[in-house]
Structure 1
Amino acid sequence: MKKHFKVISILMVFVLLALTSMACAKKDDAGSAGGAAGGKNVTLDFVWFSDGKEGEVMKNIIKDYETKNPNVKINLIEIAYKDLSTKLKTMITGGQPPALARISTTEIGAFSNQALDLATYVGGVDKFTEQFIDSIKPYYVVNNKVIAAPMDVTANGLFYNKTLFDKAGVKVPTSPDNIWTWDEFQAALKQVMEKGGAKYGMVWDFTPHRWSTLLYQFGGSMISPDGTKATINDEAGVQAAEYFKKLHTDGTMPTSVWFGGENPNNLFRSGTVAAHLAGNWMISNYKDITNFEWGVTYMPKAKQRSSVPGGKFVMAFNGSKVEKEAADFIQYLSTKEVNSKFNQESLFMSPRKDSAKLDYEFGKEMFEIFSDELNNTSAAAAEDWSKQTIVPKFSNDLKNSLVEVIAGKTTAKEAMDKTAKAIDKAIAEDKK
């Protein structure tokens, strides 16, 4: 009897050892899937805003991550974009920063001092940044620190009314090898107006950001590369302002957008405008147009090709007490598989070099043209617009100066000199 009991005891020990081994293996597998499992139970507060359906896409990604990492709970705090800065400032000054936040190019500079340097968690600056398109690097690498990770990217580009172009017998460029110069493009627009029945050749969003596309195409910039002085009043800046005026005064563009604030989206939707220079997010916005055919073509060039990059990023914060887990989740979001899923399902553009061509449910070829625009973008574009502690202080001055040029109240040179003074003042204030 004693011998029988001894055998049973030994068997029970083996069973317990086997069960323990299986549990450890399962735990290790979960940890390898996401990088954060197997540690303490943590909750990551993730401040989030949505422009479209990307919030639902992110919720599914979070669900997958939590399944692979059962010790991690991600609390998505959804807010309106207009409340983002206030929400983050309140949490940070109250000593309770979130683990993570979705950040746009407008806020990324404002919170860079509170951001966790991800470099040590993601294999170093060079290894991490080489995955993403070069033109957005100035936004998220500051003083050799990785202060955020790119999630999606935006670009300015050219939408056109295919119905009007076809009626006029005008074919748009189908390859980067045969794109128009601005003068050639303007001549094509005139033909679409005369033979296609377009009321206007094109509309252009009433923002300094969109106008700066022309500035970079003329080879200019707003601020010197070292950030010490204004350069917008250089020859290129003056030429860009003069050409923008020409597009208005010769009737190619209506003055109602830049003078009266008329919505360019509505004008294009009316079917009476040949082209619209806007951001790639209008692919989703224009998806429901049924009264005419439309598409995306390559922007013209002046001295060079260029767009203006933007986008959204994910930032982790110092002082959250879950920095390691937050960094692990960011690394997961940055992988090709997860980032591609997020952008493809959200109808966004991926910042990853290996995800320029995604299998979108709509507009696949259009997104590829926007990606090509970004790949041919001046480095000055992101260098300028990443300076978000400076740019907001002079952007209205620039917009007002351009309006005065279009109206003929001042010359392009005088307007850009005036704007340059506002830029230099903003730079000086930023150094205090």
Structure 2
Amino acid sequence: MAKASRMKIFLMLAIALILMLSSACSSKSDGGNKEETTGASEQPTQENKPTDEGKTSGEQVKLLFAMSGEGPTYELYKKMIKAYEDKHPNVKIDTQVIAQDYSTAILTRIAGGNAPDIFWISNENIISYAGRSALLELNPYDGKYFKKEDFMDNALDAYTYKDKIYGLPGDSAGNVLFYNKELFDKAKLPYPKADISWTELQELAKQLTIKEGDKVSQYGYAMDIDWFYWQPFLSMAGGSILDETGTKSVVNSPENTEAFEFLRNLMVKEQVAPTMSALKSTPGYQLFQNGKAAMYFGGSWNASTAFRQENLKWDVVRPPMYKNKGNVLGLGGFAVAGNTKHPDEASEFLSWFSGEEAQQMKFEGGFAGSPTVKSLVDSPVSTKGFENPYDSTIHLSELGESIKVAVTAPKSPYWAEISSEMAKQLELYWLNNQDIGTTLKKVDEKISAILEGK
């Protein structure tokens, strides 16, 4: 051991001894009723490694857990936390809801030294948080409290930056192709199959589109215009937005051109899908919900929300396929504040809360999402939250299959700004006011300027 390290440890032990003696004196003077403050400390932890500090016999460690909203999920989480506390009597976990400006509030509180110890975080925020030293690196706990190989590779990778794990994925969702069985039966057409080709999809959409004069009364296909829904088609064609390093735009490519043109042709040329103008008044999922679209490509969560109604007879298959299979993975996960006072206890709880036992409890409790632990992805519990009270024949296993090839948001601290600028430029394209060549050239210029800090 280096001399400097030994001196550091000696000083830390001396300080700890002084603090313990001081605390004992304080307890005698105030009757011993002083309660430990929950939340992160005002200063970052000095060493990011597992410790046994705070596990003194009889001492209870208090942690603060935060999430963005109340409701059934919050109540379910509290039950899960209670189960953890029952097995770990030395740990007390308080819960807190941050209802507005969640991400900003978390960052502000971390900077101010009063952040929750553990909190919900989207994978899209991992890099920006990690860049601010707001998150605890979890690599030292791999093998102690969790095993990274237990998680789906694409899910854990989304919480990893520069080979450092900054969070653990707790649930996921992808896109699937929903179809209205009654409309297919009425048209005497076979139901779409998993991995349906683009050509087959377009042909089915043509046959299922009904017009009254120049007005479409039933669309063959519908989707909403957002990155989460059109990115899968870029992946199917072999395209992407940023390179593997996340530092260079590759959006202006033949592959992306092909994907975008296919989607707009369904709207404008073939007129079998609602245009962006139409979608602004009635979203694609609502058209499907109301029986005005025979197929809908969108998030699996619709199976447990908008489409869970008695008069809607539907089923689901995996996304279409072109050169490759493609999908986007939306994730919810949890992280530990970089300046928590209890990194060891917080990381142990986080590992359990994101692990197999807790995910089993979560999905059995009716949480509508897909597991991120490999052992549960194909298990019966993975579809519990999606079960339809009006139809038990729906092929819900397709929801789990759809996430296995899914990509996640590009790894860039500027992703929020990039996606916003892309939406502005692409709107002109979707509205048929700009060709794809001009659009992707402008998008490429915008992304490059953002990445270069111009």
Same fold (TM over 0.5): yes
Match status 1:170 vs 2:189: yes
Following the alignment from structure 2 to structure 1, what is the Cα–Cα distance between the partners of residues 287 and 60?
53
What are structure 1's unaligned runs of at least 5 residues?
1-35
Residues matched between the structures, number: 385
Following the alignment from structure 1 to structure 2, what is the Cα–Cα distance between the partners of residues 225 and 271?
41
> Secondary structure of the residue that 1:400 maps to in structure 2?
helix
1:260 aligns to what? Answer: 280
> Secondary structure of the residue that 1:273 maps to in structure 2?
coil
1:339 aligns to what? Answer: 359
Structure 1 residue 137 displacement after superposition: 3.2
Post-superposition Cα deviations, 1:333-366, rounded to whole Å, max 9, x if no partner, equal 2331211221342121101111113331615865
Query: What is the correspondence of 1:63-74 to structure 2 with a 5 Å cutoff?
Result: 63-74=82-93
Distance change >3 Å, CA 50–CA 38, structure 1 → 2: farther
1:227 aligns to what? Answer: 246
Deviates more, 1:105-114 or 1:240-249: 105-114
Amino acid at match of 1:118: L
Distance change >3 Å, CA 133–CA 231, structure 1 → 2: same
2:445 to 405, 421, 431: 421
The answer to whether the 8 A contact 1:217-1:302 is kept is: yes
Deviates more, 1:233-242 or 1:130-139: 130-139
> Secondary structure of the residue that 1:292 maps to in structure 2?
coil
Query: What is the correspondence of 1:9-408 to structure 2 with a 5 Å cutoff?
Result: 40-50=59-69, 53-80=72-99, 82-112=100-130, 113-123=133-143, 128-174=147-193, 176=194, 179-193=195-209, 199-249=218-268, 250-256=270-276, 260-345=280-365, 346-356=367-377, 357-359=379-381, 360=384, 362=387, 366-377=395-406, 381-382=407-408, 385-408=409-432
Following the alignment from structure 1 to structure 2, what is the Cα–Cα distance between the partners of residues 216 and 287?
27
CA RMSD of aligned residues (A): 2.5
Structure 1 residue 121 displacement after superposition: 1.4
Following the alignment from structure 2 to structure 1, what is the Cα–Cα distance between the partners of residues 364 and 277?
32
Structure ranking higher in helix proportion:
1
Structure 1 residue 315 displacement after superposition: 0.2
Post-superposition Cα deviations, 1:209-264, rounded to whole Å, max 9, x if no partner, equal 21111111111000011223111111111111111110101111111556635322
Structure 1 residue 408 displacement after superposition: 2.8
Amino acid at match of 2:255: A
The answer to whether the 8 A contact 1:201-1:253 is kept is: yes
Structure 1 residue 286 displacement after superposition: 2.9
> Secondary structure of the residue that 1:186 maps to in structure 2?
helix
Following the alignment from structure 1 to structure 2, what is the Cα–Cα distance between the partners of residues 367 and 55?
25
> Secondary structure of the residue that 2:251 maps to in structure 1?
coil
Identity of aligned residues (%): 27
Structure 1 residue 396 displacement after superposition: 2.8
The answer to whether the 8 A contact 1:152-1:343 is kept is: no
Following the alignment from structure 1 to structure 2, what is the Cα–Cα distance between the partners of residues 54 and 340?
14
Post-superposition Cα deviations, 1:60-81, rounded to whole Å, max 9, x if no partner, equal 111111111112111110122x
Following the alignment from structure 2 to structure 1, what is the Cα–Cα distance between the partners of residues 335 and 435?
43
Following the alignment from structure 2 to structure 1, what is the Cα–Cα distance between the partners of residues 56 and 204?
59
> Secondary structure of the residue that 1:43 maps to in structure 2?
strand
1:411 aligns to what? Answer: 435
Structure 1 residue 328 displacement after superposition: 0.8
> Secondary structure of the residue that 1:312 maps to in structure 2?
strand
Give the TM-score taking structure 2 as reference length: 0.79
Following the alignment from structure 1 to structure 2, what is the Cα–Cα distance between the partners of residues 186 and 52?
40
Distance change >3 Å, CA 173–CA 186, structure 1 → 2: same
The answer to whether the 8 A contact 1:37-1:70 is kept is: no
Distance change >3 Å, CA 91–CA 406, structure 1 → 2: closer
Distance change >3 Å, CA 208–CA 39, structure 1 → 2: farther
Amino acid at match of 1:390: Y
> Secondary structure of the residue that 2:371 maps to in structure 1?
coil
Following the alignment from structure 1 to structure 2, what is the Cα–Cα distance between the partners of residues 51 and 354?
29
1:26 aligns to what? Answer: none
1:16 aligns to what? Answer: none
The answer to whether the 8 A contact 1:96-1:320 is kept is: no
What are structure 2's unaligned runs of at least 5 residues?
1-54
The answer to whether the 8 A contact 2:318-2:398 is kept is: yes
> Secondary structure of the residue that 1:288 maps to in structure 2?
coil
Following the alignment from structure 1 to structure 2, what is the Cα–Cα distance between the partners of residues 70 and 79?
26
Amino acid at match of 1:404: L
Following the alignment from structure 1 to structure 2, what is the Cα–Cα distance between the partners of residues 56 and 288?
22
Amino acid at match of 1:107: N
Distance change >3 Å, CA 402–CA 124, structure 1 → 2: farther
Amino acid at match of 2:111: T
Following the alignment from structure 1 to structure 2, what is the Cα–Cα distance between the partners of residues 261 and 426?
32
Following the alignment from structure 2 to structure 1, what is the Cα–Cα distance between the partners of residues 70 and 404?
25
Following the alignment from structure 2 to structure 1, what is the Cα–Cα distance between the partners of residues 430 and 143?
50
1:15 aligns to what? Answer: none
